[in-house]
Structures are given as structure tokens and as C-alpha cells.
Amino acid sequence: MIILGVDPGLTRCGVGVIEAGAHRRLSFIHVDVVRSSPDQSQDLRLLAVYEGLSEKIERFAPDAVSIERVFAQDNRNTVLGTAQAAGMAMLAAAQRGIPVALHTPTESKLAITGNGKAEKAQVERMVARILGLNEPPKPADAADALAVAICHALRPQGALQGGEREQHLTPAQRQWAMAAQRSRRGGSGRNADRGM
């Protein structure tokens, strides 16, 4: 399964591509940043992000697109641009019939490190370790894109469905499931989540 992860942003939109094989074995394929110029008008910047993401989707033909969920921030302009960039990623995937998943930074941190409040540097080191890279990808947007792709690959199957399947989760998977449930209910810590 090929997963394309997106860390949405208007100036820098991180893109990471991995392959999830048997037994959750993950392989690195590609990482990059799609950029738009702050000197351009908003519509042209969004077009640049959309075209860049579309090119990546066409090139790697992912089975799923995993996007970091946008949370409220103090800077309204930043969150609006980030949300619009996320919309461009969803549109590019939907036009090609590719399933989209949204994951919070807390979910990504929990899936990768077992700690939903892990520091950024710790997440970056674990991304490199999981994918067998010599060093964390740069810039941070690229590492975050790989993190959200890894999160999608490692998410506990059926963890949010309840019932008998939930009884077989590991402690880390239970934490992941609880964090995911809180985020979907609009739980506390929303401003802190975007800090990844």
C-alpha cells in the first residue's frame, strides 16, 4: 500500500510518500515540499499548491492520502492558509478517487513514539529510524508529512469501533484510540496539537 502524507501549508506544503508492506513494514519512497510564493495572490498560491500536490499524486499513484488535520491557532491568517492547502490536497485526491484520512498531530506523535505529547525532535528522529533514514528529513514540513503517512499506516485497525476488537489492542494502541476519539469530539488541547 502506497501512502502519501501531506503536512498542509500555504508557503511550504510537506509531502511524504511511504510504502506499507506486510507486517506493517514501512519503506521510504519520497519526501519533498511544495512551495508557493508569498508575493503571489492567494488564488495563485493555492493553484501552485494544488498543481504541486496533483503532480505528486500522479507520479506516485498512492492508495491513500493522509493529511494532518488543521487546528485553531492564534494567527488566523496562518490557520486559514493551512486549511485551504489541506482542502487542495483533499480535492486532488478526491478527483482521482483516492481515499483521504485526516490525522491530528497528537495521533501522529502517539502512533510513532507512543507519546501524544512528544517533542518535535523526538518525532523527527523516530521518523528517520522507522524508515531507515540516516537523518531526519528537512525541512520540518517534510518530516511532518512522513509522520502523518506513518501514522496512517500504523493506525490500529478498528480501534475506534468499540466492541470485541478493541479488547485486543496494546496499551499504546488504546492511547492512540482515546486521543483520536478526543480529537473527533473537539477535546481539550486543540491549540497545542498544531505544535508538531
Task: Tell me which of 7, 124, 144, 193 is the catalytic residue.
Answer: 7
Determine contact, residues 178/170, Cβ cutoff 8 Å. no
Residue 155 corresponds to which cell in the numbers above?
A: 493506525
Rounded distance, CA 117 to CA 190, Å? Answer: 12
Rounded distance, CA 130 to CA 113, Å? Answer: 10
Ligand-binding annotation for 63, yes or no, is no
75's CB contacts (< 8 A; 6+ apart) are none
Is 74 part of the annotated catalytic residue set?
A: no
- Separation in Å, CA 134 to CA 28, 78, 98, 124: 12, 32, 31, 12
Task: Tell me which of 68, 107, 124, 193 is the catalytic residue.
Answer: 68
Task: Tell me which of 124, 141, 144, 193 is the catalytic residue.
Answer: 141
Is 58 part of the annotated catalytic residue set?
A: no
Is 193 part of the annotated catalytic residue set?
A: no
- Cβ count within 10 A of residue 175: 17
- Separation in Å, CA 142 to CA 35, 91, 125: 12, 20, 13
Ligand-binding annotation for 141, yes or no, is yes
Amino acid present at 81:
G
Ligand-binding annotation for 68, yes or no, is yes
Catalytic residues: 7, 68, 141
Residue ranges at the known binding site for Mg(2+) = 7, 68, 141
Residue ranges at the known binding site = 7, 68, 141
